[in-house]
Amino acid sequence: MLFQSKEVYNTFAAREAVFMSKEILKADLHVHSRFSPDSLAWVWQIEEERKRKGLDYIGITDHNTLTEAAKILKKDSGTPFVLGEEVLTSDTNSRGKKIEIIGMFLQEPIAPGQTIKQTIFQINAQRGVVVIPHPFDEWRHGAGARASRAIINDCLGGIPVAIEVFNARAGKNANFLAKMLWCELRNDGVLATAGSDAHRIAEIGRGYVGLPPFQTTRQFSAALAEAKACGEVNAWGTLYQRLLNRIELAMGKTFSDLRKELSPDFNYR
Ligand SMILES: [Zn+2]
């Protein structure tokens, strides 16, 4: 028994050593900009924050739209955005909430309101990667266990599919269950992602993956296969950020905008 666990440890240590010998970059793969109805973050502000926090990639995953501004910035200046969309499907979870699915590495927007199967079909038609965001945070449109397994079944054998094993806005339990589901299915080729689910600039980087560099979708999938999810749930911090988010949305401007108005010399950072 002791020998067995030592074996396991050695295998794990060997994997760690390989991981550590590679160039590892940081990617927050779940960020919302003001093209989502519940965020006021400009794409240029997200880019500023990415640089400030030393992140190497940002996944822009707006609700039901592929953000043109991010597409343009990526094309013109080579900004390391991964273009995605968090699509609301017509299928519901056990709480009666419509299930969200993220498509990453998309070229064109995908219309919301389609079934999960149709949405997956469209992500695959663009050679994108299917991500199941915060699967066990069902009040926030997570798929839940049954639908997550069904999505994975639909994808396996051809379509790259990932479980978001850490989402900074989800609770500890929800993240733990997501990680457990991934642990169970990782040997089938199911990938793992992580992200902040930031709706405010301050939230960017609260969740991320460490992974090798990538450029193409294929390389992205290969990098995700080696990714390590990082981040720590801070329930009070999340509550505070969500409260500020609500107030800002009600005002129609951020506190930074307000300070800028009151004192024109104010610099955003
Ligand atoms: Zn989101």
Q: Which residues surround ligand 1, an ion (CB under 5 A)?
A: 86, 197
DSSP 222-254: HHHTT-EEEE---HHHHHHHHHHHHHHHHHTS-
| Distance in Å, CA 258 to ligand 1 centroid | 25
Higher pLDDT, 159 or 263: 159
> What band does 260 get if pLDDT is binned at 50, 70 and 90?
confident
For 140, the token pair is: 């926030």
HSE-up of residue 256 (Cα within 13 Å, Cβ side): 11
Classify residue 111 by its DSSP letter: -
Per cent of the chain over pLDDT 70 is: 92
| Distance in Å, CA 257 to ligand 1 centroid | 23
Average pLDDT value for residue range 73-80: 90
- Residue range 184-226, pLDDT digits in tens: 999 999 999 999 999 999 999 999 999 999 999 999 999 999 9
| Distance in Å, CA 126 to ligand 1 centroid | 21
> What band does 259 get if pLDDT is binned at 50, 70 and 90?
confident
In this prediction, residue 256 carries a pLDDT of 86
| Distance in Å, CA 229 to ligand 1 centroid | 17
> What band does 11 get if pLDDT is binned at 50, 70 and 90?
low
Least confident of 90-104, 132-146, 243-257: 243-257
| Distance in Å, CA 32 to ligand 1 centroid | 7
User: What does pLDDT average to over the chain?
Assistant: 91
Are the beta carbons of 100 and 75 closer than 8 angstroms? no
| Distance in Å, CA 225 to ligand 1 centroid | 22
Average pLDDT value for residue range 127-143: 97
Contacting residues for 220 by C-beta, under 8 A, at least 6 apart: 82, 104, 105, 129, 214
| Distance in Å, CA 64 to ligand 1 centroid | 10
User: Does 81 have pLDDT greater than 90?
Assistant: yes
Least confident of 1-15, 168-182, 239-253: 1-15
| Distance in Å, CA 167 to ligand 1 centroid | 9
Considering the domain 24-262 in this protein, what is its CATH number? 3.20.20.140
Other beta carbons within 10 angstroms of residue 125's beta carbon come to 11
Contacting residues for 125 by C-beta, under 8 A, at least 6 apart: none
pTM over 0.95: no
Distance from C-alpha of 141 to C-alpha of 95, rounded to nearest angstrom = 9
User: Does 1 have pLDDT greater than 60?
Assistant: no
- Residue range 16-67, pLDDT digits in tens: 676 666 789 999 999 999 999 999 999 999 999 999 999 999 999 999 999 9
